[in-house]
A and B are shown apart, each in its own frame.
Chain A
Amino acid sequence: GAGVSQSPRYKVAKRGQDVALRCDPISGHVSLFWYQQALGQGPEFLTYFQNEAQLDKSGLPSDRFFAERPEGSVSTLKIQRTQQEDSAVYLCASTSIGVSDRPTFGSGTRLTVV
């Protein structure tokens, strides 16, 4: 596609509920990233995929967070047993290998846990 597409745009979850956030990267982009942006903060790195391989998950805040990209294109970020502190905008970004490091970001999913 023309850009990075994320769905849903908005998600309200009750505390304890599981959620799944989807990211469709730009077609052909090898690298995919997830970032978390809390209110009033800059984006913070969560995890990095190169094709289907998750090469870095050091930013995932807890074992309730899980990301996958099984076929090397679409990625899903799953949060189990959501907590209020998980409320944030979750941004997905992708970049083509061989291009300098300028990820293209999607519009994000705003997650509110009530």
Chain B
Amino acid sequence: DQQVKQNSPSLSVQEGRISILNCDYTNSMFDYFLWYKKYPAEGPTFLISISSIKDKNEDGRFTVFLNKSAKHLSLHIVPSQPGDSAVYFCAASASGGSNYKLTFGKGTLLTVNP
């Protein structure tokens, strides 16, 4: 059973517009969430994270929102740029003995069209 779900396999947006990538989780023990970006033939690169004590974290064009009651988080990219085209993975971990272990979603392929 997928504990982290990214239900949109792909998303296409125009350059300059907002990209919104969604992620849902089922494990209520998850309390730390990360977004990774992956280009073809490269490893995932850390983008932004959020702890469950917050509901928003912002870093430049990237903002992550967390809704704990809905077990939902989203990544907003504003404005979107063609270089943002990549696969975006949502990942989660639980504090405690296994806090090193990340559980990933299947990823969403974002295409930003010029």
Contact = CB atoms under 8 A, between A and B. Distances in A.
Given A42-B107, A103-B102, 18 more contacts: A4-B43, A33-B100, A35-B102, A43-B104, A44-B104, A48-B101, A56-B100, A59-B101, A93-B43, A100-B49, A101-B34, A101-B93, A101-B99, A102-B46, A105-B36, A105-B43, A105-B45, A107-B42
Interface in A69-107: 91, 93, 95, 100-107
Given A41-B106, A42-B105, A91 B44 contact: yes
A102 B34 contact: yes
19 contacts: A4-B43, A33-B100, A42-B89, A42-B105, A45-B102, A56-B98, A56-B101, A91-B43, A91-B44, A93-B43, A101-B32, A101-B93, A101-B100, A101-B102, A102-B46, A104-B46, A105-B43, A107-B41, A107-B42
A25 interface: no
B103 interface: yes
Interface in B72-114: 89, 91, 93, 98-107
A107 B45 CA distance: 10
Interface of B: 4, 6, 32, 34, 36, 41-46, 49, 89, 91, 93, 98-107
Contacts of B98: 56
Contacts of B45: 105
A102 B32 CA distance: 10
A38 B98 CA distance: 23
Given A48-B101, A56-B101, A42 B4 contact: yes
Contacts of A59: 101
Nearest to A4: B43
Contacts of A108: 43
B43 A31 contact: no
B28 to A, nearest CB: 19
A100 B100 CA distance: 10
A103 B47 CA distance: 11
A105 B46 CA distance: 9
